[in-house]
Structure 1
């Protein structure tokens, strides 16, 4: 396994402007890279050099403006986190969660994963699955699924709802494929006319 080369994450910020991905997501990728290549026990100077290399030109410039003198890896991460990951209002995060609807073509699994990501920043306490379930039922783009879930008992869990949704999604895909196949069988392409 040691002979597998792991590429570093894409540079965080190469040009001035808005970073392409949130800082916390990029930092998690960077730290996963450090772990994957076995560099967790290297010196903080070595880690900081890797961080600088992966930040990109504009990211390096930003860190340079935030540092007073030289800092170690942990301090550099703290400075960058304070700069790029400013805390957001809980009300704003809740609003964004409540506005999230299932997009056309978005699968059940993709939609639930996106709701989980949004809920993770909302500090719902012990209720994230209930909140995700409510949002999922209310904003699914499949009316049949919504009706089916609303007929379930009150103790319906999120995992049960996902199982039902996946079954309905799979059945709809099979029915669509059968309909297309039946249409082709019922209406074969016309034969070319002889000359």
Structure 2
């Protein structure tokens, strides 16, 4: 049997730049495509101008006017695009935003850490990055039990903190689900028990009523109050 084949793109293709997204992220994909398709350096500017899309191209033309973008070098074009779509953030403001981020209601610990990692990319933490992530991760947790457990641990790393937090979060969720199941089961059993008692009470009441009716239907005039005989001719002359 022949080995499976994989389709290989032989024509350069990438989506045009969405101006609502980060330019740096799109540029990384573009330059990866340059490597895959072996685009020569002298052609990169033309590819960039084509795939940046009409909106970004209009912005670029306005920025470099009266110069023509088609006559500019690739690195100069990139510089102009970054200045407009990815301006250098203010480090203090970015750090403040990072330190203000707490875990939101309904947000998992994994989602919370992912958000912190994204915010940290503009904080210039350098070698302090992992400690900054660990500290803010622990400080911002909503669940006190998880937070207390992490605060007790020595030499805690962000990797270990996430592992413990996920484990405790999962255990708490499973325990809550089990509790809800037990409560629901107990409620059903209570209803069934009450129904059974009501059925037995109804049966006894029906039996008592039936006995009472039977007693009323007896013709006591046909019975002797002394011997209990039911003969009709006992008192007849």
Q: TM-score scaled to structure 1, two decimals?
A: 0.78
The separation in 2 between residues aligned to 1:125 and 1:10, in whole angstroms, is 32
Q: Which shows bigger deviation, 157-166 or 67-76?
A: 67-76
Extract unaligned runs of 5+ from structure 2: 193-237
Q: Report the counterpart of residue 59 of structure 1 in structure 2.
A: 56
On the 8 A contact 2:17/2:23 being kept in 1, the answer is no
Task: Report the CA distance shift for 1:49/1:147 in structure 2 as closer, same or farther (over 3 A).
Answer: same
Equivalences for 1:39-58 in 2 at 5 Å?
Answer: 39=37, 41-44=38-41, 46-58=43-55
- Is 1:182 paired with 2:188? no
Q: Is the 8 A contact 1:9 1:33 kept in 2?
A: no
**1:12 and 2:13 correspond:** no
Change over 3 Å in CA distance of 1:127–1:77 after alignment to 2: same
Q: Return the alpha-carbon distance in structure 1 between the equivalents of residues 16 and 179 of structure 2.
A: 44
- Shift of residue 2 of structure 1? 5.8
Give 1:33 shift. 4.6
Specify the alignment match of 1:99 in structure 2. Answer: 100
Of residues 98-107 and 1-10 in structure 1, the stretch that sits farther from structure 2 once superposed is 1-10
TM-score normalised by length of structure 2: 0.66
> Could you say which residue in structure 2 is the equivalent of 1:16?
none
Answer with 1 or 2: which has the greater Rg: 2
Cα distance in 1 for partners of 2:33, 2:126 equals 30
Q: Which structure 1 segments of 5+ residues have no match?
A: 14-19
Q: Offset of 1:57 from its aligned partner?
A: 1.9
Q: Does 81-90 or 42-51 show the bigger shift?
A: 42-51
Q: Does 1:82 align with 2:83?
A: yes
Cα pair 1:12 1:54 within 8 Å, conserved: no
| C-alpha RMSD of matched pairs (Å) | 2.8
Deviations 1:116-152 (A, max 9, x none): 2222221223211111111111111212111111222
Residue correspondence of structure 1 range 1-195 to structure 2 within 5 A: 3=7, 8-9=14-15, 11-13=17-19, 20-35=20-35, 38-39=36-37, 41-44=38-41, 46-67=43-64, 68-69=67-68, 70-153=71-154, 155-188=155-188
Check the 8 A contact 1:47/1:73 in 2, yes or no: yes
Residue in structure 2 matched with residue 17 of structure 1 by the alignment: none
Q: Which structure carries more helix by proportion? A: 2
